[in-house]
Structure 1
C-alpha cells in the first residue's frame, strides 16, 4: 500500500485560537491536507481539502466563515490538481473518508462522483442540526447526491487492518482519524483536527474552536496511545510538520 500526502489548500487564521499565549493580532498560516492511499483493493482519499472556488470568492462558498478562516492558497491549488500530479483523476477514487464536515476537509467532495463516502454518524447529525452553519458546517460542501455513510465507531475499510478509522471527537462531535499501516514506512495516524498543531498534543492545549474540551483531551490520550505504539501522528494543520513530510508524488510505502 502506498500513501501520498496531498496539498488541499492553505488558510490563514488567528494564531491565538490555537496558541494561548499568542498576541491577539498575530496570524498563522496553515496547510490543508488530503491523503491518498493506494490499497490493493481500492484507492482511498482521506479528506478532500478546500473547493477551488474559494481562491477567488471565498465569501460565496463559505459565507462569514471566510473571515475567520481565510483561503490563501496559490492559484490552481486543490486536491483534484494534486491528484493529477500523481497520475489520478477523481473517478479513480473508490472511497472518500471525511474526518469531519468543515469545508476545508470536504470541499472537493463534489468531484468524486464514483466514490463511496464515509463520515462519523455524530458528525453527520451535527452538520444536519439547526444552526449548524454557525458551527462551521456549509451544506453546499457535503449535502450531495453521493450518500454519506455514517459510522458508529471504528471501521476497517478493507477488513485487513491496514486502514482503520479512529473516532477522535472533541474538535467536532464526530471528528475521526485514520490509522494506516504501511509495510515499509510503518504506522501513521492521520489525526485531522483532533490535533491541529503538534504542540497542542504535547502541551494539552485545547484550541478555542474546539466543540468539547473534555472529549478533545480524551482524544489526545487516544492519539498518545497510538504514538506510544509507534505510530507517526500527522496533524491537521501544522505547517512546521508539513515542511518535513514527503508530499505529492514522493509519498510513503
Structure 2
C-alpha cells in the first residue's frame, strides 16, 4: 500500500468543529492510496484535479471559496503516482470513497480503469441538488465503466480489499478495509473520519449529510479499531505527517 499525496486544502476549522473560532483556518492533506494486488493495481480515491491548483473556481465554482487549494499542479496525484513507479494507464480499478471533488478529481485521467462506487453515492451525485451538496460533475461524470455496489464488496473475492458502506458524511460514503501481510488490517476511512478528533470525541462535523448515520458509522469504525484495525483518517494533518508516502509503502 502506497500513500500518495493528492492535493492540500485550506478551510475554516468551524466547518468540522462547531466549537472552533469561526475565522480560524487550517490546512488539510488530500490523499490517495495505491493498492498493489495480484489481480491489478487499485487506487482508493484520486484527490484533487491538478487544474484547481491554479484556477479552482473554473472547475469548482463557488466551492472554491470553501475549499481553497494550497498546492501546485506538480504536487497532484499524477506526480505522486509516478514516484511509486506507475503511470495513469497502469491503474486497473479506481475506488471512489465518495464523489466530492477532493476525492475523485483525477478520475478522468484513468481511462483504462473501472470505477467502483456505492449506488447511494451515484444517486446523490445525480440528484437535482447535487451541486449544492458538493458534487462537481466534471470530477466524477466520465465514460469509464462503473461497478456499483450497495453495502459490501469484496473487490477480488479474497478478503484483501473489502469496501464497506459507512454513510453519514454523504449517502454513499464508503471505507476500504485492506488486509496487508505485515501491517495487518488497515481501514481507509476517508471522510467517515475526516479528523481523528471527531472519532475520539464522538461528534459529527458540520459538513455532514446525516449526523445520526455518521455517528453510527463511527461507532462501527471504533469497533473495528478495537479489534486491531489501523484507521487512516480522511484529512488529519497530524496523522498524515507520520505516514510513509510516495515510493515508500506498507506491506
TM-score normalised over the length of structure 2: 0.98
Is 1:222–2:217 an aligned residue pair? no
Provide the rounded CA distance (Å) in 2 between the counterparts of 1:18 and 1:143: 27
Aligned residues of 2:155 and 2:162 also touching (Cα < 8 A): yes
Match of 1:156 in 2: 154
| Cα distance, 1:28 vs structure 2 | 1.3
Match of 2:119 in 1: 121
**3-state SS in 2 of match to 1:65:** helix
| Cα distance, 1:78 vs structure 2 | 1.1
Match of 2:52 in 1: 54
Provide the rounded CA distance (Å) in 2 between the counterparts of 1:152 and 1:75: 34
Following TM superposition, the consecutive aligned residue runs of length 4 or more in structure 1 with deviations greater than 6 angstroms are: none
Match of 1:80 in 2: 78
| Cα distance, 1:74 vs structure 2 | 3.2
Match of 2:186 in 1: 188
| Cα distance, 1:75 vs structure 2 | 4.1
| Cα distance, 1:123 vs structure 2 | 0.2
Aligned residues of 2:41 and 2:91 also touching (Cα < 8 A): yes
Match of 1:252 in 2: 250
Provide the rounded CA distance (Å) in 1 between the counterparts of 2:151 and 2:28: 29
Task: Extract unaligned runs of 5+ from structure 1.
Answer: none
Aligned residues of 2:50 and 2:72 also touching (Cα < 8 A): no
| Cα distance, 1:139 vs structure 2 | 0.6
TM-score normalised over the length of structure 1: 0.98
| Cα distance, 1:19 vs structure 2 | 2.1
Provide the rounded CA distance (Å) in 2 between the counterparts of 1:98 and 1:205: 24
Report which stretch shifted further, 165-174 or 144-153. 144-153
**3-state SS in 2 of match to 1:155:** strand
What whole-Å deviation, never above 9, does each CA across 1:112-147 have from its counterpart, x for those lacking one? 000011110000000000021010000111111113
